[in-house]
Amino acid sequence: MRASLLTLALASLLALPAAAQTPPPAEPEEATPVDRASQDDPVRDAPEPGAPEQDAPEQEAPEQDPPEQETSPQDGPAQDGPARGTDTDVPAGTGGTATGDPTDGDDGETANSAVPLDEITRFVLVFNAVRAGHVDEVGDRELMQAAIRGLLLDLDPHSAYLQRSDAEAFEEGTTGAYEGIGVEVMQLPDGSMRVISPMDGSPAQRAGIRSGDVITAVDGQALTPASHEGRGPLRGPPGTEVGVTVLREGEAEPLELRVAREVIRTASVRGSIREPGFGLVRIASFQADTATDFAATVDRLNGEAGGNGLRGLLLDLRSNPGGLLTSAVQIADDLLESGGIVSTRGRIQVGDTSFNATPGDRMQGRPVVVLVDAGSASASEVLAGALRDNERACIVGSRTFGKGSVQTLLPLDNGDAVKLTTARYYTPGGTSIQARGIEPDLVIDGKGAPASGYAESALPGHLAADGEEGGRPGQVLDGDEPVKAAMDALRRLASGGTCALPVTPAAGTAPPADGAQ
C-alpha cells in the first residue's frame, strides 16, 4: 500500500511540470458580492466568479493582447462566504490596451526542476501514520483534502483550494446576485472572519455589522477552518436568519447580532449631483457591468449639470474591496486620455501584462478627486493609483488596504479549483501596492484610532512588499464628513487651487521678507 501511494503521488506531481508551462487562467480582480469570506482577497457570501463579458462604455474599445488566462474573480474579500484574503484581481476583459510581455528566459526552469522525492516519501509516511494512528478514523479523501488545503494555506492569505461548491459560488461574484447577508469578509487562520465591508443597503449593514468587525461564531457555533467548506456559514436561503457573534474594537463584550438573509442584488454604481456643478459617484465593488454603469452615470450627471457639464467629479471608493480588474481598468480608461493604467509582474514572464489608456476622457480634463480608506482594496487601489500616477486625480482619505497581488484560477478535472497568487500589481509609476497601500495626497482624520490589523501588511503570511512596507494601517472613514472634506478639495481644484488645504500663517508671524530663503 505504501508503495502504491508513493507511486500515485509521484505520478500526480510529475504531471505538473508540463501543465505549469501553460499560463493558467487568470482571475479578475475580483469583485465579489459582499458576504464573501478577495479572501483582500477580503471575501463575500460567495467566492468570486469568473469575469463575464461586459459591454465597454461608448468609447473606442482598444484591442488587447493579454496572456491566455481565464479570468476569474477577485482576491480579496469574499461574500458571506470564506475566501481568504481580498478580492482577487486578474487581468481580462476590455478597457485600455493590454499588452503581453513575453520574454525569452528560464521561466520553465522551476517547473522542470527535480521533484523532491525525499519530501514525497516523508509525506506518504506521515499520511499512513495519521490514517493508522489517529484517535478517530479519518478517510483517505478527507486526509488528502486537508493536505491540499495545507499546501496552499501557508503560501499567502489569498491562495486557496476551492471545492466544487466554492468554485461555483466564486463564479457568482461578478453577476451581482447571490443569497446571503451582503458582507465582504476575510477568513483568518483560526476560521473567524474579519469584515472588510458590509455592502451598501445590505442586511449586514442594516444589522449594524461594520468594517473591521471580527465574526467568531455563527448560530452559536465557533468558526473553524472547516466551517468554510462549501458555500460558507453565512450563505443560505432567503428569508432565513443567521446569528453572528462579533468582536468589535472598543467593545468590552462580544456583540450578538441577528441578520436576515436575502437575495443580494448589488448595484455597484450610484451617482448624484452633490451640489451645483459637482457630481458624486459611489462605486461599491467592481462587477461585470460596473464600468458600463459608471460611464452611463457620468454621462447622466454631465447632462443634469447643464451647460458644459460637471465642473468636477468625486469618486467614492471607501470600503470597496475590489472585484474585476477589467472593470477598474475600463473606468481608469474613461478618465484618461493616455498613459499607463496598471501592469502585473510574476515569476512566469509570459504572463506579465500591462494596460494602457486610449483617447476619450468622459470628464474632459475637469478635476477628479478619489476618496479612499482602509477598506479600499485591490481593484480600488489599482484605479486610485492609475489616476494619481497620471496626475489625473487627487487622492483623499486614509491609507488603503494594500492588497496588490493577482490570483489565477486553475480549474481541476473534478470541478474543484486552485486559486493561486501568481503576480503583483504595479501602478503606472512602477510602484507596487502590495503590503503598502496608497497614501492619500490629502489625509483625512477619521477621529478614531487606526483600524487595528486592518491592512494587508498585518495578515499572517502576506507577500512582502517591494521595499519598505506601509506605515500604520489606515482608518475606515464612515459617514458624510469625509465626503464633505473631499468636496472641499474638489472645489479648490475647480477654482484653480490645489488639493491640499491652504496653509494659514500662525498668529503673530510676519510674512518672509523679499529674498528670504
Q: Which positions are annotated as active-site residues?
A: 378, 389, 403
Closest CA to 52 of 338, 245, 291: 291
Local structure of residue 147 (DSSP, 8 states) = H
Residue 409 in contact with residue 87, Cβ under 8 Å? no
Placement of cell 462580544 in the chain: 254
Placement of cell 478535472 in the chain: 413
* 41 vs 218: CA distance, rounded Å: 21
Going 63 to 65 to 69 to 74, the CA torsion angle's sign is: negative
Cβ contacts of 465 within 8 Å, gap of 6 or more: 402, 432, 434, 435, 436, 457
Q: What are phi and psi of 168, to 5 degrees?
A: -65, -40
Half-sphere exposure of 368 (CA within 13 A, CB side): 25
Beta bridge partners, 279, equal 273, 313
Residue 300 in contact with residue 272, Cβ under 8 Å? no
Take residue 388 and report the three cell numbers written for it. 494619481
Q: Calculate the alpha carbon distances from 157 to 85, 120, 183, 289 in Å.
A: 5, 25, 18, 28
DSSP string, 70-107: -----BS-EESS--SSSB-----SSSSEEEE----S-T
Local structure of residue 56 (DSSP, 8 states) = P
Take residue 407 and report the three cell numbers written for it. 490570483
Q: Calculate the alpha carbon distances from 16 to 10, 13, 108, 113, 239 in Å.
A: 10, 5, 12, 11, 45
* 286 vs 269: CA distance, rounded Å: 9
β-pairing verdict for 312-316 and 278-283: parallel
β-pairing verdict for 394-397 and 368-372: parallel
Single-letter amino acid, residue 370:
V
Take residue 190 and report the three cell numbers written for it. 483560526
64 exposed, middle or buried (CB, 10 Å; 0-12, 13-18, 19+)?
buried
Helix (H) or strand (E) holding 197: strand 193-198
Residue 499 in contact with residue 492, Cβ under 8 Å? yes
* 440 vs 396: CA distance, rounded Å: 5
Cβ contacts of 436 within 8 Å, gap of 6 or more: 402, 404, 457, 465, 467, 468, 469, 470
